[in-house]
Structure 1
């Protein structure tokens, strides 16, 4: 078989899978809102899946009284101006996320990644860390230690871990954030 034929066959297979998924989704939503509440579908439509994922209740890290009050367009409190930019971009692009959602590592230690994001299309979760003080040597050491502990638990950059960095000379770039969202979360 030629390479073009193989690509065409793969595209057709993907299209048929998507059609089947849409048929299942449509058969559920066609029941009407009242019946949908009574049913437990095998496959949730993307919007319902994202809505349920987003509604999970959790306790993030606590804020100290003396911390600066920074909020996103959704009214969430975050710890840095760069996190405001990331959260607003995620929101603007329709990516469900949780801020500082607790994650238990295999060591038993609980960490609070800046963002836990959902790629609704693939239903995969990504953690997103923003490292904002990379000019501070102690902070750098902690950052590399944190990245190592994530790797030991299977969180690999570009697979299920996204990170951004900045220092006093190079602030976070909103275009980079947009590109990362497009690449991994849409």
Structure 2
């Protein structure tokens, strides 16, 4: 599974945070545990230290029952989190996302020609997807003629900046690949990729004139339609924006690529 190791390492950090929080909470807790007795609508709390029945906690004491209940909960959380953390550390010690793929790619190329892998390598999947033809959106007569480093015509300087960055980073993309959105019609996302995390398409829209009211209204409507079609920002839709005062941020682009396309 692509990106499973990253997910496991993130869960490891999450568990370590939980363990630290629960351990800190258990540093100063009362001795013993809480017993709760309920008779119809009457609830009684007992502080148990040496015997099961314990000592009755008067209703005026609202702190001790909470402390004892929290203690029991924190101990359970700590035990479970430590167990899961141990399992994850053991799994990630020698686990690699592409270990099955490497069994094939590490073979001599002559041997590879004799073998049918149990599943295609990721680069084979991407290249096959990339090689599939599609009908691009036409350029209007008189539109600016802007070429990327790859020799591909785009509609704006910002799109060229993005395309050139993807090209230099060897990230395969499709420019303005048509996508049908129910309730809107066919749209042409600026860039379409194959997500290394999910194996499904992920779209990148650059909205470059968000300080122009009519352009902004159209952009917002399109983004809302994406969501109505199950395409959500932060999952399978990446957005970048520009205004006259705020240009495309290269650091932001690098961060988005690292998060969604690596």
1:23 maps to which of 90, 100, 103: 100
- Which residue is equivalent to 1:72? 148
Alignment partner, residue 88 of structure 2: 10
- Structure 2 length-normalised TM: 0.63
- Are 2:260 and 1:184 equivalent residues in the alignment? yes
Query: Residue 217 of structure 2 aligns with which residue?
Result: 141
For structure 1, which runs of at least 5 residues remain unmatched after alignment?
A: none
Contact 1:25 1:44 in 2 (8 A): no
With the length of structure 1 as denominator, give the TM-score of the two structures: 0.86
CA contact (8 A) 2:206 2:240 kept: yes
SS in 1 for 2:230: coil
Deviations 1:34-74 (A, max 9, x none): 864x8654411122112111111111101123111111111
Whether the 8 Å contact between 2:104 and 2:112 is mirrored in structure 1 is no
Q: How many residues align?
A: 184
Which of 56, 63, 76 is the aligned partner of 2:139? 63
Map of 1:156 onto structure 2: 232
Quick one: higher RCO (CA 8 Å, sep 6+), 1 or 2? 1
How far, CA to CA, are the matches of 1:97 and 1:15 in structure 2?
Answer: 33
What is the rounded CA distance, in whole Å, between the counterparts of 2:260 and 2:112 in structure 1?
34
Query: How do 1:167-178 and structure 2 match up within 5 A?
Result: 167-178=243-254
Q: Is the 8 A contact 1:116 1:126 kept in 2?
A: yes
User: Are the structure 2 counterparts of residues 53 and 148 from structure 1 closer, same or farther at C-alpha, using a change threshold of 3 Å?
Assistant: same
Q: Which of 179, 194, 201 is the aligned partner of 1:118?
A: 194
